[in-house]
Structure 1
Amino acid sequence: MTFKDLQNLYDKKKTLFGKNAYKHISEVFEEAKALHKKDFRGRDHEQSWRSFKGKNLEKLVEYIITDEIKSIGLDVVNGNSLERTECANLSKKLGKVKRNLLIDFGGECGCHMPDVDIVVFNPEDSMVVAALSVKVTLRERIAQTGYWKLKLAADKNTKHIRVFFVTPDEDGTLTKKNPVKKGRAIVEKDLDGGYVMTETKIETSDKIKMFDKLVADLKKLIK
């Protein structure tokens, strides 16, 4: 099972459901899990699958949004790849993107990139517009994402960067406004927004929306 196989499964959903294909992202992974198990050689398939799913959800979201983001004059880069690659080995443009995202911890602690999965930037000047954290559920890194938002907001050079959480919300944390679950409270109060990829009815708000609103909201940031 490769990312290309996953991409093909998503493309089939896109043929069936068009712009609403994103709502079927969990179905894509259910189908992928069966194929992954056929190829698996080892003792603990569940552990292997969780790793595959988490890593490739990020890639799939990047695949889904890249063309739309480029159509509004922005571009994307994988945050994990950007962090791992030294500036000397990046293009001039991406080197600037990385430097524009760095957080200064001061003194001997130095500068470090926040843990984000997708970086949205302006290709004309390499200014970072938004950082996206992509996770299967809000239990995975939602508090950490809130921490990075606070760190970015504390520096005049990075305070303009919006931090968004993208998720299929498979544990239903974002479904209801009341009672508010802890994960939803963090998105509502500490992040700039959350975008949900699900068929489940979500009680939306100014901060919590369906995934198809993401690119339109990014477009508003560059007007």
Structure 2
Amino acid sequence: MPSALVTGVSRRAGIAWTVAHRLAADGWDVTASGWPGHDREQPWGEDSAAAPAMPWLAADLADPEAPARLVSAHVARAGGIDALVAVHARSSDQDLATVTAAELDASFAVNARATVLLVQAATAAGVRSVVLFTTGVHQRPMPDELPYVVSKAAIQGVTATLAAALASSGATVNCVNPGPNDTGWPDDATRAEVAAAMPLRSRWGTPADAADLVAFLVSDAARWITGQTIDSDGGWGVRS
């Protein structure tokens, strides 16, 4: 049975939750991780009933030692690691006028540094497929979320370099932009505005849409795809 580590699993409405359960349903031995402490700080709050139906580990990825510990724990339990799916993200609502050095550092630590360190540890353990997650800043400016944008743009930017680093081992590295995805955060007005502007089927993306793409990218059918950022966004990036 192939095994996968999925990060960011802390809310039932979230992408990571759906990805982890989709892979488990497909026959993967999944270890999930998340950090409810971050959710407590956000408008949506902590999902206290969100323990997934699989091994789950709390991991504060702001800790530079946490990525290696997380991979080691998964490998010790599952006997190896075939796929790493890094869905975790630190959210931050600061614009250019309000942005702080502390928040820039915190967002970079979780979103960018931890992702690279997860890939480093997983590579040493023999990972075969890596899927990272970015955001749609290359399609539309996000001036109210500057620390998040900076750190997530770094993930997209490093994808090809990581793919080149792992290519000799036969492992793949790809990046997903899930586009506008309804994980429970938008209000009704935002939902209506985005749906009306969405070229394909006039709806938001869902966590299941992202999970479909991840399931493909970690499968043998995607073994010839690497170094790519894939916009699974319902045409959001090509809207007129």
Normalization by structure 2: what TM-score?
0.35
Normalization by structure 1: what TM-score?
0.38
Higher relative contact order (CA 8 A, sep 6+): 2
Q: Which structure shows the higher helix fraction?
A: 1
